[in-house]
Amino acid sequence: MFNLLVNAKGGLTTAGYAVCVIAGIVLFVAALVFAGRNSKKRQLSTKQLAFCAMAMALAFVTAYLKIFSLPWGGSVTLCSMLFIVLIGNWYGVQTGILVGLTYGILQFIQEPYVLSFFQVCCDYILAFAALGVSGFFAKSKNGLLKGYIAAVIARGAFHSLGGYLYWMDYMPENFPQALRSVYPIVYNYSYLLAEAVITIVVISIPAVSKGLARVKQTALD
């Protein structure tokens, strides 16, 4: 079954793409249904649908706007993680995780690479779902900033786990043994923290901060 979905180069077959698209749709609907259950009014559920869809679309588009990319995967994008973090900040941890999980499916469709099922879970499903932890800080002072930092750290943890479990087996034999214990962490956090710095600078600009606050108020009203 696995061979029907993945080709010899680690990419997806036509059947693989079809399965991922269907899974993405199902997960997105699940996220929206859950958001609707937390709403007291049907109108708010519709608003959540619109904002979740817009956030995912913006994240997907900005993921293509890469400042630079690393050779073994990973890139610094134009604040793409921020849009998923915003959902967690607006609608809570569970909705943020579900939307992040769905976005991970879209990321997998965008640039798939498969070593194993569990590697896909670490690098795509769990890593992007982890962005939803931003919701834990939604009600605290500077909640968006704290939530964003926590989300980046959480995402990096899953990428690093995948690096230890799978990617290190593909390193050259002459790769220094002394670096193997830290390489997955250094590699993954290098691009994640670089993007985080850029994003934090952007959202700290007073005009941007005020604009995001107004958007949040609109999303929650």
Is residue 3 packed enough to be buried (19+ CB in 10 Å), middle (13-18) or exposed (0-12)? exposed
3-state secondary structure of 12: strand
Inform me whether the pLDDT recorded for 1 exceeds 60.
no
Minimum mean pLDDT among 97-101, 126-130, 165-169: which range?
165-169
**What are the DSSP E strand ranges found in the chain?**
66-69, 75-77
Number of helical H runs and strand E runs in the chain: 11, 2
Whole-angstrom distance, CA of residue 168 vs CA of residue 96? 30
pLDDT at res. 20: 53
Structural domains of the chain, with CATH:
2-220 (1.10.1760.20)
In this prediction the pTM is 0.79
Q: Which of 81, 70, 79 shows the shortest CA–CA distance to 153?
A: 81
Mean pLDDT, rounded, of the chain: 83
